[in-house]
């Protein structure tokens, strides 16, 4: 074997070990970037889990087309030092509904809800709530209702109504 072929063989043998090192390096970089991103978000004081909405003239407005697909759409609103989470969805009966992403029972856990088909599921206790009853049934582990109205092609929620649910989200 010539000197050149020997060096080439050593180089190839060395590269067989590198994929594991490359994966380890990649995982380390991703972990550091994730922790750094979390730290900067925490340092910024932004605790929002969902897209943030802002108010104008004492209300927030969402295009109905954005929330009328049958899926729950989650949002955050900053009020008085609290990040207030809520969701909006159009149920099978055609009604656009809104609720805080919490309930009277499990709010201290701050786990909220997830959607599975026509049901909203409490992420803390696992209870299921048919979407057609949101805003109609309240109390217990039902999603805490949030007043809303439709104005033209917009869903309108008063900031006073959002602030009224702030106690669920403050420490």
pLDDT of residue 170: 87
Evaluate whether 154 touches 64 at the Cβ level (below 8 Å).
yes
Phi/psi-derived region of residue 27, left when phi > 0, alpha when psi is between -120 and 50, beta in every other case: alpha
pLDDT of residue 49: 79
CB atoms within 10 A of CB 35: 10
How far apart (Å, rounded) are the C-alpha atoms in residues 82 and 80? 6
Residue 100 C-beta-side C-alpha neighbours within 13 Å: 27
Determine the Cα–Cα distance for residues 79 and 62; give it in Å rounded to an integer: 18
pLDDT at residue 37, as a whole number = 42
85 φ/ψ angles, rounded to the nearest 5 degrees: -100, 140
How confident is the model at residue 17, as a pLDDT?
A: 53
Q: What is the pLDDT of residue 16?
A: 53
Report the C-alpha gap between 26 and 34 in whole angstroms: 12
Beta bridge partners of 5: none
Instruction: Tell me the pLDDT of the chain (171 aa) as tens digits.
Output: 666 676 666 656 555 555 665 555 455 544 444 434 433 333 344 556 799 998 999 999 999 999 999 999 999 999 888 899 999 999 999 999 999 999 889 888 889 999 999 999 999 999 999 999 999 998 888 999 999 999 999 999 999 999 999 999 987
Q: What is the largest CA-CA distance in the chain?
A: 84
* Torsion sign over Cα 33, 38, 42, 47: positive
Please give the model's pTM, rounded to 2 decimal places: 0.71
Secondary structure of the chain: what % helix, strand, coil (to 5)?
A: 35, 30, 35
């Amino acid at each position: 074997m010539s000197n050149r072929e020997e060096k080439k063989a050593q180089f190839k043998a060395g590269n067989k070990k590198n994929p594991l090192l490359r994966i380890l390096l990649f995982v380390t970089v991703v972990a550091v970037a994730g922790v750094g991103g979390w730290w900067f978000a925490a340092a910024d004081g932004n605790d929002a889990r969902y897209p943030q909405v802002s108010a104008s003239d004492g209300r927030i407005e969402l295009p109905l087309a954005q929330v009328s697909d049958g899926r729950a759409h989650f949002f955050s609103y900053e009020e008085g030092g609290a990040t207030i989470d809520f969701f909006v969805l159009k149920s099978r009966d055609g009604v656009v509904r809104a609720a805080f992403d919490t309930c009277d029972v499990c709010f201290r856990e701050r786990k909220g809800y997830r959607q599975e088909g026509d049901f909203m599921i409490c992420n803390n206790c696992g209870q299921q709530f048919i979407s057609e009853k949101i805003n109609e049934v309240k109390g217990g582990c039902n999603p805490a209702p949030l007043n809303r109205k439709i104005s033209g092609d917009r869903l309108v929620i008063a900031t006073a109504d959002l602030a009224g649910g702030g106690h669920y989200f403050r420490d």
